[in-house]
Each structure stands twice: as structure tokens, then as C-alpha cells.
């Protein structure tokens, strides 16, 4: 085998690794599941049917305050990473990964759905991004958040660390897609406010999980495949 053939094989193997890493990435899997799922309106879903529902976030509990942006939300996911150098190489080291949610429903017109499952895989778009480093100090909000987790934005020598911050939230009235099985219940039987009346309970199918995302290409009301 001559050198050009070896180079081509190495290049193909490298591209295959990149494709497989993307294809089986958690966020890609969640988006693919939701995009391929059968879409149903709340009133159309049959008892125990597995389908994709799309609704707008409605707070039930006292909402959360996102730690980086200060936005009011039902859910937030935060990732903080520091650039670490080792000789000629460098990589991003995760310092903090935090995920929190309060009780919320999804609304479609006058109907409501409520997710109850310990097996939820979510992909919430990181729509707030920040950074701090050599020429940019961390803001008071970012510094406070780091300190709450026992971390400082400066090194022991007083130089700023190179840090990036990502935050994704579910805000009130934001459209969200969810894939699970549905069954109608009285709101009070689910521990929800009685004014919601009948609520579609969304749960994970047997031996499965509930998928949830606010990514724009997952909330489309279609059965599109790719």
C-alpha cells in the first residue's frame, strides 16, 4: 500500500470518527428523536400513545432565577469551562455543570400537559454565552457564581483564567417539544392547581425516556424525517 492510499484511509477514518461522535452525541440524539416522532395535538393523543407534543411553558411553582443571566425560568442548564494548557496542547476542562428545574406545565390553547418522569433527556439551547480571560475580567454576576462553587476567576498569581460560560433556559411562554406517552387526569389528582382542570400527563414509555427540547427545529408541527 503506497503513501497516498494510507493518507486517504487515515483521512476517511478521521472523518468517520467525527461523524460518529456527532451522530451519537446526546443533543443530536434528542433532536433526531423529536424530529422523527409523530406529532399530535394535545386533544388528538390516544391513551398510552407515544407522540411528540408541542406547548408553551407555563409556571406552576415559583420560577427559578438563572444564575448567569438572571432570567426568570422554569429550567436552566449551566456549563462553565476553563481552558487548560499542557505544553503545546490545550483543552477545555469542565468546572461546573448545573441543571435545575421547578414544576411547570406545557400549554396548547386551553389545554395543559405535565411531565412526570425520572427519565428525562433534555436539550435546551445555550442562548446566553459569556467569557472572561486575559483582557476581560469576569463580571460581578459571573464572579459571584464561581465563588458559590468555590472557584475564582483569577489564578494564584493574580492573572485571569480563560473561562467560558454557557446557559440555556426555559422561559415562560417559550415553545417546547416533548416526546412521551400521554394519559388524561384530573389536575388535582396530580397535585396541580385545580384551575387547570384536565391535564395530559406525559410519562416515559416502558423501558424508555421522555425527550424534551426547545431547539427551533424540534418544535415544528410536522412529521418530517431526515
The 10s digit of each residue's pLDDT in 201-220 is 999 988 789 999 999 999 98
- For residue 79, is it within any domain? yes
- For residue 218, is it within any domain? no
CB 51 within 8 A of CB 36: no
- For residue 221, is it within any domain? no
In this structure, what are the phi and psi dihedrals at residue 35, rounded to the nearest 5 degrees?
-70, -30
For the entire predicted model, the pTM comes to 0.83
Percentage, residues of the chain above pLDDT 90:
74
Burial class (CB in 10 A: 0-12, 13-18, 19+), 214: buried
Domain of residue 144: give its range.
3-213
Percentage, residues of the chain above pLDDT 70:
87
Evaluate if residue 7 carries a pLDDT over 70.
no
The count of domains in the chain is 1
Evaluate if residue 119 carries a pLDDT over 60.
yes
Which residue did the predictor score with more confidence, 23 or 77? Answer: 77
- For residue 60, is it within any domain? yes
Quote the pLDDT of residue 10: 62
- For residue 192, is it within any domain? yes
Question: What are the tens digits of pLDDT across the range 143-198?
Answer: 999 999 999 999 988 899 999 999 999 999 999 999 999 999 999 999 999 999 99
- For residue 119, is it within any domain? yes
DSSP code string of 148-213: HTT--SB-TTSPBP-EEEEEEEE-TT-EEEEEEEEEEEEGGGGT--GGG-EEEEEEPPTT--EEEE
Three cell numbers written together for 198: 384536565
Distance of alpha carbon 102 from the chain centroid: 14
Beta-carbon contacts of 198 under 8 Å, excluding residues fewer than 6 positions away, are 111, 184, 185, 186, 187
Between CA 170 and CA 123 the distance in angstroms is 11
- What's the pLDDT band for 223 if we cut at 50, 70, 90? very low
Question: What are the tens digits of pLDDT across the range 63-100?
Answer: 999 999 999 999 999 999 999 988 788 999 999 999 99
Distance of alpha carbon 122 from the chain centroid: 4
- For residue 220, is it within any domain? no
Burial class (CB in 10 A: 0-12, 13-18, 19+), 107: middle
- For residue 40, is it within any domain? yes
Quote the pLDDT of residue 107: 96
Amino acid at each position: 500500500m503506497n503513501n497516498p492510499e494510507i493518507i486517504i484511509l487515515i483521512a476517511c477514518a478521521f472523518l468517520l470518527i467525527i461523524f460518529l461522535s456527532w451522530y451519537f452525541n446526546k443533543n443530536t440524539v434528542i433532536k433526531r428523536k423529536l424530529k422523527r416522532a409523530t406529532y399530535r395535538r394535545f386533544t388528538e393523543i390516544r391513551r398510552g400513545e407515544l407522540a411528540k407534543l408541542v406547548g408553551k411553558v407555563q409556571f406552576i411553582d415559583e420560577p427559578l432565577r438563572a444564575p448567569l443571566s438572571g432570567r426568570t425560568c422554569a429550567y436552566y442548564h449551566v456549563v462553565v469551562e476553563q481552558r487548560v494548557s499542557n505544553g503545546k496542547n490545550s483543552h477545555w476542562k469542565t468546572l461546573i455543570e448545573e441543571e435545575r428545574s421547578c414544576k411547570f406545565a406545557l400549554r396548547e390553547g386551553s389545554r395543559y400537559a405535565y411531565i412526570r418522569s425520572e427519565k428525562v433527556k433534555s436539550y435546551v439551547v445555550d442562548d446566553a454565552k459569556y467569557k472572561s480571560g486575559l483582557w476581560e475580567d469576569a463580571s460581578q454576576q459571573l464572579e459571584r457564581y464561581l465563588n458559590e462553587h468555590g472557584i475564582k476567576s483569577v489564578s494564584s498569581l493574580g492573572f485571569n483564567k480563560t473561562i467560558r460560560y454557557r446557559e440555556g433556559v426555559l422561559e415562560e411562554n417559550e415553545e417546547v417539544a416533548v416526546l412521551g406517552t400521554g394519559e388524561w387526569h384530573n389536575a388535582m389528582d396530580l397535585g396541580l392547581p385545580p384551575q387547570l382542570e384536565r391535564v395530559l400527563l406525559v410519562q416515559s414509555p416502558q423501558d424508555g425516556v421522555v425527550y424534551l427540547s426547545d431547539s427551533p427545529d424540534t418544535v415544528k408541527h410536522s412529521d418530517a424525517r431526515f
